[in-house]
Structure formats: C-alpha cells, structure tokens
Structure 1
Amino acid sequence: MGMPTKLIDEQFASLAADLDIRACKTGMLADAEHVHAVVENLKRVDFGPLTVDPVMIAKGGAALLAADAIKTVRDELLPLATVVTPNLPEAEQLTGQSITSNQAMVKAGHSLQGLGADNVIIKGGHGDNPDLANDFVLLADGTAFWLSAPRIDTVRTHGTGDTLSACITAELAKGRSMAAAIKTAKAYVAGTIQDGIQVGYGHGPLNHWATPSEQVIVHDA
C-alpha cells in the first residue's frame, strides 16, 4: 500500500506554512495517483523553480514508476517544470522516441520543451560513448550546449541522477541562473564519481564530500 495522498497534502501545507521555500524538486513518485496529488499541491503553493527528476527507470533497468503514471507525468507534471532532468531511457519514455545518437538527444530535448518543460537536461550516462558521458542541455531561451565528462571505471555511481537534480535545485535556490546551476551540478556529480569512496562491495554510493571536477567540458550544440 502506498503513502496516502492525504499525507502528501498535509506535508505540503505544513511546509508552506513553516518555511520560505525558494526552489523544489520531485523524484520517484511511484504511480499516477501520487503524481497527480503532487501536481495539485504544486499548483496551490509557490515553492520557486521546480526541478522535475522523472524517476522511471533505474540504472540497472528496473522500472521505478508504474506504466500508467508515465502519461500523468507527461501531461500534468512536465508543464510545471522549470527544468526536467531525464536519463536516456526516461527521455525515450516521455517522448516516445528512440535516442541512439547525439542528434536524437537534441530532437528529444526539443520535444520535452514542447511538452511544457522550460529547460531540459538529458543525461547521457546510459549512452554508448566509451570515453565520455555527454549531457545535452536546452534552455528556455533556445540556447543549447553539451556538458561532457570523462567516464570513470567504477561501480560507485548510485544516486547520480538524484544528486544532479538536487544540486540544480540548490543552486537555483541561491538565485543562480539555470545555465550556471546545471554546469555546477554536472561538475559536482563528476567530482563525486572521480573521488569515490568504498562502502560495501556492491553498486556503491557517490562521495558527496568531493570537490567539483575540473574536467567537465562545455561545448556548443
């Protein structure tokens, strides 16, 4: 049994009454009922810029969102997004497009804007480039660029997408521009992977104490 939506309503009301929230994000929302509940609450409050991390598919391929909820995310949540941060499989689910090249990433980015998101970053960690993780960024004003970081041979990558969207949200809360927030987040996540920590023996976590990487390259789309 999932979380009662009444509890979501109460959490939103409590936060709105108690805190001056300057930016917010969504993550794994499980099913259509919970997506809709979050959407309705977001319409009632002003929590600043909204980062939508459309958590649907885990790094290993496991589904994290009920199939019937994908349409709800696409139709109800994306139009509220200041920025949306899908990985490649999630971008494919949202757009209905196969993304197997840089050109396809660009096309998908424009499609996501067409669905209502102001700004888009499509994360390329699932891509087949053996040397670089290439992310495509499309801003609300039409500016587009790529962010590239060297791939690191490690299993310490659990939570990369969550960390990226959280960092973008934190930077927006500071009043930074969207471009600056995204670039900072990419450099930070790259640093957490490069300076990994060993915890256990499985698919391990990032090192959130790491400093941002200086190896991220920004280039025009």
Structure 2
Amino acid sequence: MNVPLATIHSQLEAVADDFQIRAVKTGMLANAEVMEHVVAHLQRAHFGPLVVDPVMIAKGGASLLASSAMDALKTQLIPLATVITPNLPEAQWIVGSPLTTKAEIEEAAKKIQQLGAKNVIIKGGHRLDVSDATDFLRLENGDSEWLSKPRVATNRTHGTGCTYSAVITAELAKGKSVSEAVHLAKDFIHQAISTPIDVGHGHGPVNHWAYREEA
C-alpha cells in the first residue's frame, strides 16, 4: 500500500521547516501522483543537489512502478536531477534499447543527459558475465570515466543501489564534487559488499559499518 499523499506532504513540509538541507535523494516513488507531488515540492524547496535513484525494476526483473510513474520519471523528475544513478535494467528502460556494450552504455548516458539530468552514473553490477562490477560516469561538462571494482561472490547485496546513491548524496551535502562523491561511493559500496554481515539465510544486506577510507 502506498503512503498517503497527505503524509508525504506533511513529512516534506516538516523537514523543510526544521532543517537546512544540503542535498536530497529520491528512491522509489510508486505512482505518478506521488512523483508529481514530490517534484512540485522539490521545485519549491531549497534542498540543494538532487540525486535521483530511479528504483524501477526489482532484482528479479519485475517492474516496481506504474506505467504512469515511469512517464513522470522521464518528463518531470529526471530534468531536476543533479545526479541520476540507474542500474543497467533501469537505464535500458529509460533509453528504450538494450545496453550490452560499453559504447551503448556511453551513448545511453548521453541520452539520459538530454532528458535533463546533469550527471549520469550507469551502474553495471547486473552484468554477471564479467569479473568486475563496472560503472560508467558521465559528468555535466562532458567528461566521463569507467569505475571498476572486483566482483564479490555473495548474496549479501540487498540495498546496494540505495546505499550507493545515499553515499553520493551525503558527500555532495559535505561539499564534494560529483566526481569525488561517486568515487567515494564506489569505494564504500565495494567494502560494504566484500565485508558481509552474516545474518539470516536469504538475500542479506550490505554492511554499512565496513567502510574504511582508502589510503
């Protein structure tokens, strides 16, 4: 069941009234009505850089958003994004074509920028046919780079994308550049996955306490 709009409105107003927000991220906004309400508030509020984590597709491939919300994502939320962090399946939906090569991923990042997002990072962790977890970053000024870490064989990956985008948001709030924030987030999530928490028997969480700054 979706959170009522009145509750979302009250939460946004309370945060805006009581705190000086220096950066903000969005996660799953389940339908167009919710997304449009959040967009309207973000256009009024002064929350600093916006990181859009377009939570659209579950690990098993199921869609998490209503079709109307997907349309609103492209036309209303993405144009506000300082940084957008789609994984490969999400990026494929946004651009409407398969992404199987580096050239296709690089071109997809350009297309997402053309929708209005300033900076784009396409996360490649869903590619299980390669030995590294490799992401592509395209910056507002046109600079770009590939970021890689060794793939870790584990089922303790629940929350990977949310954590990645949350770290980017936190670092932007501290005044880091987008490039600096993304690099730190990449290091953070690699350590969080490679130092697992052994809890439960299913698809477990990443370890948010694992991070140590690399020399």
TM-score between the two structures when normalised by the length of structure 2: 0.96
For the aligned residues, what is the CA RMSD? 1.4
The answer on whether the counterparts of 1:190 and 1:212 sit within 8 Å (CA) in structure 2 is no
The answer on whether the counterparts of 1:86 and 1:122 sit within 8 Å (CA) in structure 2 is yes
1:152-200 deviation line (CA, Å, top 9, x unaligned)? 1100000000000000000000000110000000000000011111110
The answer on whether the counterparts of 1:157 and 1:203 sit within 8 Å (CA) in structure 2 is yes
The answer on whether the counterparts of 1:191 and 1:213 sit within 8 Å (CA) in structure 2 is no
The 1:213–1:156 alpha-carbon spacing in structure 2 relative to 1, beyond 3 Å, is: farther
The 1:175–1:75 alpha-carbon spacing in structure 2 relative to 1, beyond 3 Å, is: same
4+ runs deviating over 6 angstroms = none
The answer on whether the counterparts of 1:190 and 1:213 sit within 8 Å (CA) in structure 2 is no
TM-score between the two structures when normalised by the length of structure 1: 0.94
The 1:212–1:71 alpha-carbon spacing in structure 2 relative to 1, beyond 3 Å, is: farther
Determine helix, strand or coil for the equivalent of 1:51: strand
1:48-69 deviation line (CA, Å, top 9, x unaligned)? 0000000001222222211221
What's 1:101 paired with?
A: 101
How much identity, in percent, do the aligned residues show? 53
| Structure 2: segments with no counterpart, 5+ residues | none
Map 1:163-174 → 2, pairs under 5 A: 163-174=163-174
Residue 211 of structure 1, CA deviation: 2.0
Determine helix, strand or coil for the equivalent of 1:136: strand
**Cα distance in 1, alignment partners of residues 155 and 128 from structure 2:** 17
**Cα distance in 1, alignment partners of residues 173 and 202 from structure 2:** 34
Residue 128 of structure 1, CA deviation: 3.9
What's 2:155 paired with?
A: 155
**Cα distance in 1, alignment partners of residues 51 and 133 from structure 2:** 21
The 1:59–1:103 alpha-carbon spacing in structure 2 relative to 1, beyond 3 Å, is: same
Residue 7 of structure 1, CA deviation: 2.0
| Structure 1: segments with no counterpart, 5+ residues | 215-221
The answer on whether the counterparts of 1:56 and 1:64 sit within 8 Å (CA) in structure 2 is yes
